[in-house]
Structure 1
Amino acid sequence: MLVAFSITPLGVGEDVGEVVSEAVRVVRASGLPNQTDAMFTTIEGEWDEVMAVIKQAVDAVAERAPRVGFVIKADMRPGVTNGLTSKVETVERYLADT
């Protein structure tokens, strides 16, 4: 499954990059395929392992912020692997054909 999520530390001021980086550090240390952009971090793996990493990331932010908001969007498609890159490659292929 692919899960895109965004964690927002609340009550730490406007500059949240340092606190958010703690969540990204957890994701990268997990060893699961992932990518981070300006709005979300996407992680790929099995349900239990992905959700465990997201919980650890939320917990890491909660250690530094009095309140944490987060959004999760998931795509569960059994039997599909490498969705993190293959979905983008498919769109790029269609864009190249036009």
Structure 2
Amino acid sequence: MLVAFSVAPSGGPSDSVHDAVAAAVRVVRESGLPNHTDSMFTTIEGDWDEVFAVVKAATDAVGAFGSRVSLVLKADIRPGYSGELTAKLDRLEAAMAEPDGA
């Protein structure tokens, strides 16, 4: 499965969330699961239990930066598939390279 998530503190002493987000991304990267971070979300690939354990740990890490935590999740649950973190993008790029109408 792929899970894209965004986690941020609220109710903290600062409007800046980069330190909290860095703590969450550090948890993800240390997990060893395939992942990708962009300006809005971090996406992780793995099975249900391991992905959600990482999301929980990342959320807990952000919790240290405020009195509340906001978590947004989107999941693509497709049993039997792996490598989709990059394969979906590869298929998109291949489709974009095709001439119109092909």
Same fold by TM-score, threshold 0.5 exceeded?
yes
Query: Per-residue deviation at 1:18?
Result: 1.1
RMSD of Structure 2 on Structure 1 (CA): 0.8
For residues 37 and 11 of structure 1, the distance between their equivalents in structure 2, rounded to whole angstroms, comes to 24
1:80 alignment partner in structure 2: 81
- Aligned partner letter, 2:8: T
Q: Number of residue pairs matched? A: 98
Cα distance in 2 for partners of 1:20, 1:77 equals 27
The 2-side partners of 1:16 and 1:61 are apart by 9
Q: 4+ residue runs of structure 1 moved beyond 4 angstroms?
A: none
Amino acid at match of 2:5: F
Q: What corresponds to 1:22 in structure 2? A: 23
Note the alpha carbon deviations across 1:3-45, whole angstroms, 9 max, x for none: 0000011123221111110000000000000000000000000
State the one-letter code of the partner of 1:79: G
Q: AA paired with 2:41?
A: F
Which whole-Å CA distance do the structure 2 matches of 1:96 and 1:9 have between them? 40
The residue that corresponds to 2:8 in the other structure is 8
Larger radius of gyration: 2
Q: How does 1:1-98 map to 2 (within 5 A)?
A: 1-12=1-12, 13-98=14-99
Structure 2 unaligned regions, length at least 5? none
% identity of equivalent residues: 56
Provide the rounded CA distance (Å) in 1 between the counterparts of 2:51 and 2:19.
23
Aligned partners of 1:62 and 1:21: how far apart in 2?
12
Moved more, 6-15 or 46-55: 6-15
The TM-score with structure 2 as length reference comes to: 0.93
